[in-house]
């Protein structure tokens, strides 16, 4: 008999608005941190040792923050994407909270950016643009555009994307409004492969680079995983049915063992990544879950799962971390 | 007198020249030789004082001769004569030196002869105490004055018989004599004979050879000395501490001289020289047997002095141990153990001097031990420790508290000397096991006291003062001892263990015991608490070793201990028997049943034991906070919730302990008060609360903690609290049937807190009453003017004026604002209003709960919610509307207990909603209430004094008290007022209980405000004291059925009428009539 699903380890309260996005940072000296972006433009920096917000950044003119990431491998370099069509770079070192640079993308959608540290010190950033279908890849330091990726056929609005470094160079996987997924070769600027697993818009996707496998979710009950084979073409793989429709985000844990989804039905679902076997339904939130994130703590026993929800709470879980 | 005068004068100018001195002294010497009388002796000694020391020295033999001659003359002499001779000799000897061996020997033997009985030279004679004293004094003076080179001849083998006689003489005196001074003097002489005198004069310092000589001589007497002195030492306490300690000194000096390590080898080489029969050959064999015998004597000495009431004796014991350990630890191998024990036992002496001396001695001994034979020394110590640990439980059971304290101090002392080396002992599994088990047995608690469980906290939630006030730690009752100092000593032992021992090893060992059996659990927890405190250096006197445990280790160990303490099975223990539970709080019953599937109530001692276990664990957690200081902050995440949970425990002991732990947290983490602690860490608390709310079966106390939090936090917490309130409400919705009571109390405290946090709305509460009051004061004239104005307005006169007047009234301005938002967007309510509304909604359902207790609580909550919503009528009125049917049921068809609070709620509602309720009240409530009042009036009128204890009475009283204000606030008119006044009239009767009469009077006063005319009529109908005359002849006289006979209503009616007249002055009445007539 399987064990009952666990309770959250703790709840982080006080964001004061729906939590849209989460990002862990556990490296370096100092306590592990969790960055959260709220629907009212606040970015909270949570100290996971004290379980309290160390710092609250007011950003993006109180517009929703939809994406956060750290860059340069530092806890104090933060990039945020807001619904004011801007990207902001933050310097948080020594208690500062200053915006050092910003970029007007002109994108009005909900598509989150994707950051790729190709070489130490130089990063590529893929962001949506004013043109709803286009992905623009820029070099982080100078904002110089590396390429602009636009599908030839009409696929609708860009919904989500993920960029990673393949053997041949940076690759970007993008999901579109009509449900199709396109694998782009960033350096060649041409699409490598098309796949249309579902007819509904691709709400979210994630790719596990080591296993060459990705997964996408939509407003439907089905999660569809696909593989990227040697010829860099996308192939349908497993699929799994959920009880309730709608996924806002999903994340594969770095070790490639489990997948967590943020459901519109207020639940977090955990699946085995290999065969998409449903493992657990984590119930706590009282409103739709917007975001999930796995921590990258060096000590596997301290790795956590965090989920941010529309009910303004962030729940932190410790699951399957002993293995 | 004359002599002393001369002495005094002569003392100023002593005769220096020996010749003159000789001439001066000669006559008296000669005289004395011829006539040995007291007078002559005194004359001589008087003259002696006139001669300088130098002259005396030269004339020593000459002067001593007549004196000795007196002693030598055969025949019996007067004691006083001998005494005065002794005095004179003592004077001479004190001021001169004995330079010739012959005179020393002769004087020595002559003095001995004076002491001993004529037949047996080894036994003291039957002289008076004074005489003995003076002889002994002289002997002492003689020994002091002997020259260094001649004194050692005393110890030559040929002198042994004489010396032996003297020694046995002194010993016999010390042993058998009654007078303390004689005992002291003889002991002093003995000490002098050992050449170990401790007085301030100059002494001969024996060289090595001489020491050997001395040792050889004294060895002969050792058995006798030991026997006699041990008898003296163990003698009656009344002999005084000085004798005991002096005897000890003599003994150990003798032993130290005889058994000195340095003389071990010497004796071997010199053995051949001494051919005397009497001399003892100090062979290794002899040493061995002697050491065994000495060990026996030593044990006896230690046993009767180690716990001696006088500290000087204990100090002497320390000196003894130190002296012997440093002088002859090798030759008296058997004694080292007991000596160390004695030394160690004194390390924690109450007397600082003993303590200091002891620690100095120990340090010295430890250094010597470490430098020469460290391993042996540690071995001896650990062996001692082991045997002590083995015998500890037995000793703790059998001996008295004083002895127990001593034993424990010894234990502590060993640990102190071992210091960091204690680990060597602890790493041996046998030793550790022995020690831990011994502690477990010794620290067993006595849990049979009924008071433990009977101590009930007065308030469910402890009141956290604003300041940290010291709380006395709870007194534990142990099975094996009662003295607090024993407990303190045990604590010190554990701390010392923790301080020096390997913390991992110890914590591991005691955690094992903690888990092993519930029998050991409490003791193990106590030990763990102390060990950790000790490891952190709390309560350990660290003079010699600065020894700190690694902080990270400490934290991780504390974490594991805390985890164990607050784990479900060790934290949620039954502390109340089911029988109790039912009577105190019916709500708790199902919880207990869930925790204990077997419904058999646990025996009393088990409950007591549980209570103590929790207390000890709480104490421990508090102690850990002390140990970590500000580093404890992260632990609050785990500890604060469980501790707060216990702070609300019904058991007094537990709640006190928890409160103390919280105070410890405050001190450690630098909060000014528990209140601040709760407020500053409310996020942690709320986290646990919200998680635990979802698991009611495991964590039944989450609501309680939440209530406590509400009670103590302030409005700044509202956003956080609101979040959890949603959890509470959700949880309540999920399980209305079982979990209502705890949640009701949460909601109650929540609403109470809200009312407290937003006092503006409560401040508003009084204004309606004031307004009505003002209205009532408005004069008749004003009323008529207003009436006229209203009438004019209704007819359309002066409308323009009104418009102008209202131009500057703001409502018109606020309107556009609302329009801007648009009708579709619902206004976002302030959090507090939203919460109050949500709570009220739940209460509507709960108002019909089958449990009376719940209904009562809900009525209170509703009352508070109404206060909160008072300002937002558009929210309040719909809620009241929904509430009404259930409330009506409470008012009309419920248990008599529920009616008064329901009525109170009605009054509050009337206050807040006013006319919104008027119709409902007059239609649905008033008829029933008044009917029941009328019905009850007959009963209460006929009742005896016991009636005031009945429910019916209380109900009557509550209704009568509330009815008046209600009428005013709801602005009831005509028929309703009639109803009320009719129902109340019976209560004006003097036959009613006095309180009911008073309450009824208050109703009538309210009615007077509302409708004075009606009141007047009603009252006059009952009784009118004076005939009614129309105020104006033109008016027709009133025709009412008035009765002017005194009756049961007279008193009250009269009082009311008087008040009515007073409030309605004549002139306004006249005016009224006047306007009417015109």
Between B473 and B788, the higher pLDDT residue: B788
Mutate to test the interface with B, among A4, A11, A49, A302 (most CBs of B within 10 A): A11
The pLDDT value given to residue A264: 93
Q: Give the model's confidence band at A136: pLDDT under 50 very low, under 70 low, under 90 confident, else very high.
A: very high
pLDDT of residue A150 exceeding 60, the answer is yes
Verify whether the Cβ–Cβ distance B723 to A50 is below 8 Å: no
Same domain, B410 and B360: no
Share of chain A above pLDDT 70, in %: 99
Domain-located, residue B340: yes
Is residue B598 included in any domain, yes or no? no
Q: Which residue has the higher pLDDT, A240 or B371?
A: A240
In this prediction, residue A249 carries a pLDDT of: 93
Same domain, B436 and B452: yes
> What would the pLDDT profile of B894-939 be if each residue is shown by its tens digit?
777 888 888 888 888 887 877 788 888 888 888 888 888 888 888 8
Residue B11 lies in a domain: no
Q: Cβ–Cβ of A312/B723 closer than 8 Å?
A: yes
Section B814-838 average pLDDT: 62
CB B547 within 8 A of CB B420: yes
Alpha carbons B873 and B41: distance in angstroms, whole number: 122
Q: Which residue of A has its CA nearest to B730?
A: A286
pLDDT of B801 over the 60 cut: no
Residues A138 and A161 reside in one and the same domain: yes
Do A98 and A116 sit in the same domain of this protein? no
Contact A49 B634 (CB under 8 A): yes
Residues A89 and A122 placed together within one structural domain of the fold: no
B252 shares its domain with B344: yes
Regarding whether A132 and A90 lie in a shared domain, the answer is no
The gap from C-alpha B14 to its chain's centroid, in whole angstroms, comes to 70
**Euclidean distance between CA atoms B140 and B288, whole angstroms:** 34
- pLDDT at residue B808 in the model: 45
Per the domain annotation, does A119 fall within a domain? yes
Domain boundary among B356, B372, B388: B372
Residue B539, min C-alpha distance to chain A (Å): 29
In a domain, A272, yes or no: no
According to DSSP, residue B924 is labeled I
Quick check: ipTM above 0.85?
Answer: no
pLDDT confidence band for B1040 (50 / 70 / 90): low
Kind and range of the H or E run holding B1031: none
Q: In this structure, are B421 and B323 located in the same domain?
A: no
The C-alpha angle with vertex A84 and arms to A80 and A86, in degrees rounded to 5, equals: 45
Q: Among A208, A241, A274, which residue terminates a domain?
A: A241
Reduced DSSP (H G I as helix, E B as strand, rest coil) percent helix, strand, coil of chain A, to 5: 5, 50, 45
User: Residues B133-158: what's their mean pLDDT?
Assistant: 83
The last residue of one of the domains, among B311, B342, B372, is B372
Residues A22 and A123 in one domain: no
Asked if the model's pLDDT at residue B558 lies above 80, the reply is yes
Burial of A247 (0-12, 13-18, 19+ CB in 10 A): buried
pLDDT for position A81: 93
A51–B730 C-beta distance less than 8 A: no
Residues A131 and A63 in one domain: no
CA distance B754 to B677: 20
Q: Report whether pLDDT(B465) > 60.
A: no
The answer to whether the Cβ–Cβ distance between B683 and A13 falls below 8 Å is yes
* Angstrom distance (rounded) from CA B1047 to CA A304: 86
A171-181 pLDDT tens trace = 999 999 998 99
Nearest CA in chain A to B720: A14
Mean pLDDT score, B638-643: 88
pTM of the shown model: 0.69
CATH of the domain at B331: 1.25.10
Q: Judge: A13–B686 Cβ closer than 8 Å, yes or no.
A: yes
pLDDT tens by residue, A95-133: 888 899 889 988 888 899 999 987 777 889 999 999 888
Q: Do the Cβ atoms of B865 and B839 come closer than 8 Å?
A: yes
Chain B residues with CB-CB distance to A50 below 8 A: 633-634, 637
Q: Can you spell out the DSSP letters for B974-1028?
A: HHHHHHHHHHHGGGGSTTS-HHHHHHHHHHHHHHHHH-HHHHHHHHHHH--SS--
Banded model confidence at residue B457, pLDDT cuts 50, 70, 90: low
Res A270: pLDDT = 94
- In a shared domain, residues B385 and B368: no
> Is residue A264 domain-resident?
no
Whether residue B613 is predicted with pLDDT greater than 80 in this model: the reply is: yes
Q: Do A14 and B686 touch (CB under 8 A)?
A: no
Does residue A169 sit in the same domain as residue A126? yes
CB–CB of B12/B50 below 8 Å? no
- Residue A192 three-state SS: strand
- Same domain for B318 and B431, yes or no, is no
Closest listed residue to residue A246, CA positions, set A269, A222, A226? A222
Is residue B781 in a domain?
Answer: no
In a domain, A55, yes or no: yes
Greater model confidence, B436 or B349: B436
- pLDDT averaged over every residue in chain B: 77
Which residue, B624, B641, B659, sits at the end of a domain? B659
Mean pLDDT for chain A overall: 89
State the residue range of the domain holding B389. Answer: 380-460+471-576+603-659
* Model pLDDT for residues B120-141, shown as the tens digit of each residue: 767 777 778 888 888 888 888 8
State whether B494 and B640 are in the same domain.
yes
Higher per-residue pLDDT: B851 or A35: A35
The Cα–Cα gap between B647 and B666 comes to 15
Question: Lowest-pLDDT range, B131-140, B482-491, B540-549, B656-665?
Answer: B540-549
pLDDT > 70 fraction of chain B, expressed in percent and rounded: 82
By DSSP bridging, strand A77-82 and strand A65-70 are antiparallel
How far apart are alpha carbons B315 and B305 in whole angstroms? 10
Please say if the pLDDT value at position A37 is more than 90: yes
pLDDT at B553 over 60: yes
B367 lies in the same domain as B425: no
Residue B634 placed within a domain: yes
**The pLDDT of residue B332 is above 80:** no
Three-state SS at B681? coil
User: What is the Cα–Cα distance from A239 to B924, expressed in whole angstroms?
Assistant: 65
Task: Identify whether A128 is part of a domain.
Answer: yes
Mean pLDDT computed over B767-778: 45
Do residues B396 and B498 share a domain?
yes
* Interchain CB distance below 8 Å, B720 and A14: yes
pLDDT of residue A306: 95
Q: Are A124 and A232 found together in one domain?
A: yes
pLDDT of residue B807: 44
Residues of A in contact with B691 (CB under 8 A): 7-8, 10-11
The CA distances from residue A90 to A73, A93, B409, in Å, are 13, 9, 64
CATH number of the domain that A289 lies in? 2.130.10.10
Helices assigned H by DSSP within B578-701: 578-584, 589-595, 604-628, 633-647, 652-669, 674-680, 682-693
Mutual angle of helices B60-72 and B38-48, in 10-degree steps:
160
Highest average pLDDT, of A121-130, B468-477, B483-492, B572-581, comes from A121-130
Q: Is residue B763 part of a domain?
A: no
How many domains in chain A?
2
Which residues in chain A are contacts of B634 at CB distance < 8 A?
Answer: 49-50
Residues of A in contact with B720 (CB under 8 A): 13-14
User: What is the Cα–Cα distance from A247 to A256, expressed in whole angstroms?
Assistant: 20
A92 and A193 fall within a common domain: no
Same domain, A132 and A198: yes
The rounded Cα B642 to chain-centroid distance in angstroms is: 23
Residue B774's pLDDT band (cuts 50, 70, 90): very low
Say yes or no: B336 and B390 in one domain: no
Chain A positions touching B687 (Cβ under 8 A) are: 10-11, 13, 51
> Looking at the 3D structure of chain B, how many domains does it have?
3
Residue B819 clears pLDDT 50, i.e. is over it: no
Query: Which residues have a Cβ under 8 Å from the Cβ of B893 and sit 6 or more positions away?
Result: none
Residue B1076 placed within a domain: no
Looking at chain B, the whole-number percentage of residues with pLDDT higher than 90 is 1
Confidence of residue B831 (pLDDT cuts 50, 70, 90): confident
- Tell me if A8 and B691 make a contact (CB, 8 A cut-off): yes
Closest to B776 (Cα-Cα) out of B981, B1066, B1064, B1075:
B1064
Assess whether A24 and A84 both reside in one domain. yes
Asked if A302 is an interface residue toward chain B (Cβ–Cβ < 8 A), one would say: no
Q: Are residues B356 and B385 in the same domain?
A: no
Task: For residue A165, give its domain range.
Answer: 112-241
Pair B534, B393 in one domain:
yes
pLDDT of residue A215: 93
Task: Give B720→chain A minimum CA distance, Å.
Answer: 6
Residue A207 contacts residue A173 (beta carbons within 8 Å)? yes
Contact B899, B954 (CB under 8 A): no
H helices, E strands: number in chain A: 0, 28
């Amino acid at each position: 008999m399987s064990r009952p699903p666990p309770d959250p380890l703790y709840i982080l309260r006080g964001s004061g608005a729906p939590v849209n996005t989460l990002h862990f940072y556990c490296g370096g000296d100092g306590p592990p941190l969790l960055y959260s972006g709220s629907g009212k433009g606040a970015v909270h920096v949570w100290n996971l040792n004290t379980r309290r917000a160390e710092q609250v950044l007011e950003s993006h003119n109180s517009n929703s923050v939809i994406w956060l990431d750290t860059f340069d491998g530092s806890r104090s370099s933060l990039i945020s994407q807001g619904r004011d069509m801007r990207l902001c770079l933050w310097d948080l070192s020594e208690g500062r909270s200053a915006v050092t640079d910003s970029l007007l993308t002109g994108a009005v959608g909900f598509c989150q950016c994707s950051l790729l540290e190709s070489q130490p010190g130089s990063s590529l950033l893929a962001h949506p643009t004013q043109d709803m279908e286009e992905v623009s890849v820029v070099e982080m330091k100078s904002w110089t555009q590396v390429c602009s990726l636009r599908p030839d056929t009409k696929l609708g609005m860009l919904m989500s994307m993920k960029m990673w470094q393949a053997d041949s160079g940076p690759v970007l996987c993008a999901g579109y409004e009509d449900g199709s997924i396109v694998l782009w070769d960033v350096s060649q600027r041409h699409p490598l492969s098309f796949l249309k697993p579902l007819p509904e818009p691709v709400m979210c996707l994630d790719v596990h680079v080591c296993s060459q496998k990705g997964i996408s979710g939509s407003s439907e009950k089905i999660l569809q995983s696909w593989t990227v084979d040697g010829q860099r073409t996308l192939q349908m793989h497993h699929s799994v049915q959920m009880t309730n429709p709608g996924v806002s985000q999903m994340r594969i844990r770095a070790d490639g063992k489990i997948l967590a989804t943020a459901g519109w039905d207020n639940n977090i679902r955990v699946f085995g990544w290999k065969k998409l076997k449903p493992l657990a339904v984590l119930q706590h939130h009282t409103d739709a879950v917007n975001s999930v994130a796995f921590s990258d703590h060096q000590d596997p026993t301290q790795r956590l799962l965090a989920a941010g929800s529309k009910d303004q709470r962030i729940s932190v879980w410790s699951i399957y971390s002993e293995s | 007198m004359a002599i002393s005068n001369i002495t005094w004068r002569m003392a100023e100018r002593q005769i220096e020249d020996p010749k003159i001195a000789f001439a001066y002294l000669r006559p008296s010497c000669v005289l004395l030789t011829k006539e040995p009388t007291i007078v002559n002796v005194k004359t001589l000694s008087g003259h002696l004082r006139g001669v300088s020391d130098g002259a005396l020295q030269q004339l020593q033999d000459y002067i001593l001769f007549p004196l000795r001659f007196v002693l030598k003359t055969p025949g019996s002499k007067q004691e006083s004569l001998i005494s005065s001779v002794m005095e004179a000799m003592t004077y001479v000897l004190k001021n001169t030196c004995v330079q010739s061996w012959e005179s020393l020997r002769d004087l020595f033997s002559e003095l001995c002869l004076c002491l001993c009985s004529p037949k047996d030279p080894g036994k003291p004679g039957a002289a008076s105490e004074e005489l003995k004293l003076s002889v002994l004094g002289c002997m002492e003076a003689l020994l002091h004055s002997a020259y260094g080179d001649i004194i050692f001849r005393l110890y030559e083998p040929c002198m042994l018989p004489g010396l032996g006689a003297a020694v046995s003489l002194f010993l016999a005196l010390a042993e058998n004599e009654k007078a303390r001074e004689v005992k002291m003097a003889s002991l002093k002489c003995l000490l002098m004979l050992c050449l170990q005198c401790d007085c301030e004069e100059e002494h001969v310092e024996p060289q090595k050879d001489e020491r050997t000589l001395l040792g050889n001589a004294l060895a002969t007497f050792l058995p006798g000395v030991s026997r006699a002195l041990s008898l003296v030492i163990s003698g009656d306490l009344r002999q005084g501490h000085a004798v005991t300690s002096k005897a000890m000194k003599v003994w150990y000096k003798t032993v130290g001289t005889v058994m000195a390590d340095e003389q071990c080898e010497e004796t071997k080489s010199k053995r051949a020289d001494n051919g005397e029969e009497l001399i003892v050959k100090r062979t290794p064999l002899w040493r061995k047997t002697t050491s065994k015998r000495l060990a026996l004597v030593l044990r006896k000495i230690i046993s009767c002095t180690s716990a001696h009431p006088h500290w000087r004796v204990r100090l002497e014991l320390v000196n003894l141990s130190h002296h012997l350990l440093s002088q002859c630890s090798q030759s008296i191998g058997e004694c080292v153990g007991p000596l160390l024990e004695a030394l160690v036992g004194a390390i924690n002496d109450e007397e600082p001097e003993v303590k200091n001396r002891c620690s100095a001695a120990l340090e010295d001994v430890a250094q010597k031990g470490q430098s020469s034979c460290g391993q042996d020394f540690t071995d001896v110590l650990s062996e001692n420790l082991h045997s002590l640990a083995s015998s500890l439980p037995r000793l703790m059971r059998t001996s008295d508290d004083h002895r127990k304290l001593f034993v424990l101090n010894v234990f502590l002392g060993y640990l102190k000397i071992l210091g960091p080396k204690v680990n060597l002992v602890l790493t041996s599994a046998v030793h550790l096991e022995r020690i831990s088990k011994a502690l477990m047995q010794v620290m067993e608690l006595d849990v049979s006291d009924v008071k433990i469980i009977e101590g009930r906290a007065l308030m469910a939630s402890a009141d956290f003062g604003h300041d940290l006030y010291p709380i006395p730690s709870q007194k534990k009752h142990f099975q094996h001892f009662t003295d607090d100092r024993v407990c303190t000593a045990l604590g010190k032992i554990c701390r010392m263990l923790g301080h020096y021992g390997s913390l991992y090893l110890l914590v591991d060992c005691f955690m094992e015991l903690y888990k092993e059996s519930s029998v050991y659990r409490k003791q193990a927890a106590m030990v763990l608490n102390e060990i950790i405190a000790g490891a952190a250096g709390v309560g350990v006197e660290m003079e010699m070793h600065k020894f700190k445990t690694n902080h990270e280790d400490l934290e991780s160990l504390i974490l594991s201990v805390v985890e164990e303490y607050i784990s479900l099975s060790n934290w949620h223990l039954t502390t109340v028997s089911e029988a109790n539970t039912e009577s105190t709080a019916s709500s708790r019953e199902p919880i207990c049943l869930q925790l204990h599937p077997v419904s058999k109530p646990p025996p009393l001692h088990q409950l007591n034991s549980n209570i103590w276990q929790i207390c000890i664990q709480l104490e421990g957690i508090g102690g850990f906070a002390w140990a970590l200081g500000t580093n404890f902050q992260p632990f609050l995440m785990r500890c604060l919730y469980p501790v707060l949970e216990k702070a609300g425990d019904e058991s007094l002991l537990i709640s006190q302990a928890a409160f103390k732990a919280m105070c410890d947290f405050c001190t450690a983490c630098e909060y000014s008060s528990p209140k601040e602690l709760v407020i500053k860490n409310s996020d942690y608390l709320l986290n646990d609360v919200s998680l635990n709310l979802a698991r009611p079966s495991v964590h039944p106390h989450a609501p309680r903690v939440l209530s406590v939090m509400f009670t103590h936090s302030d409005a700044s917490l509202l956003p956080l609290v609101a979040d959890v309130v949603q959890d509470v409400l959700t949880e309540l919705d999920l399980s209305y049937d079982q979990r209502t009571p705890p949640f009701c109390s949460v909601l109650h405290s929540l609403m109470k807190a809200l009312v407290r946090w937003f006092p503006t709305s409560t401040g508003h509460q009084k204004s309606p009453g004031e307004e009505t009051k003002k209205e009532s004061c408005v004069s008749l004239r004003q009323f008529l003017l207003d009436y006229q104005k209203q009438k004019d307005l209704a007819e359309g006169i002066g409308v323009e004026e009104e418009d102008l007047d209202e131009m500057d009234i703001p409502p018109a301005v606020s309107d556009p604002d609302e329009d801007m938002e648009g009708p579709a967007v619902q206004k976002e309510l302030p959090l507090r209003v939203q919460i109050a509304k949500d709570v009220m909604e739940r209460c509507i359902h709960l108002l019909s709960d089958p449990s009376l207790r719940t209904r009562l609580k809900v009525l209170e909550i509703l009352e508070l919610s109404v206060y909160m919503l008072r300002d937002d009528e558009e929210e309040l009125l719909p809620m009241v509307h929904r509430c009404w049917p259930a409330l009506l049921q409470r008012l009309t068809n419920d248990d008599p207990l529920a009616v008064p609070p329901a009525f109170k709620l009605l009054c509050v509602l009337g206050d807040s909603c006013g006319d919104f309720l008027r119709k409902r009240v007059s239609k649905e409530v008033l008829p029933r209430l008044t009917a029941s009042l009328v019905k009850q009036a007959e009963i209460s009128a006929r009742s005896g004094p016991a009636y005031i204890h009945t429910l019916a009475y209380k109900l009557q009283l509550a209704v009568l008290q509330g009815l008046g204000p209600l009428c005013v606030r709801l602005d009831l008119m005509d028929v309703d007022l009639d109803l009320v006044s009719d129902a109340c009239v019976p209560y004006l009767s003097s036959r009613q209980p006095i309180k009911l009469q008073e309450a009824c009077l208050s109703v009538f006063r309210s009615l007077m405000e509302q409708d004075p005319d009606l009141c007047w009529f009603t009252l006059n109908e009952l009784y009118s004291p004076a005939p009614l005359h129309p105020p104006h002849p033109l008016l027709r006289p009133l025709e009412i059925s008035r009765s002017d006979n005194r009756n049961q209503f007279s008193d009250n009616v009269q009082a009311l009428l008087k008040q009515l007249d007073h409030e309605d002055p004549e002139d306004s009445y006249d005016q009224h009539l006047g306007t009417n007539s015109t």
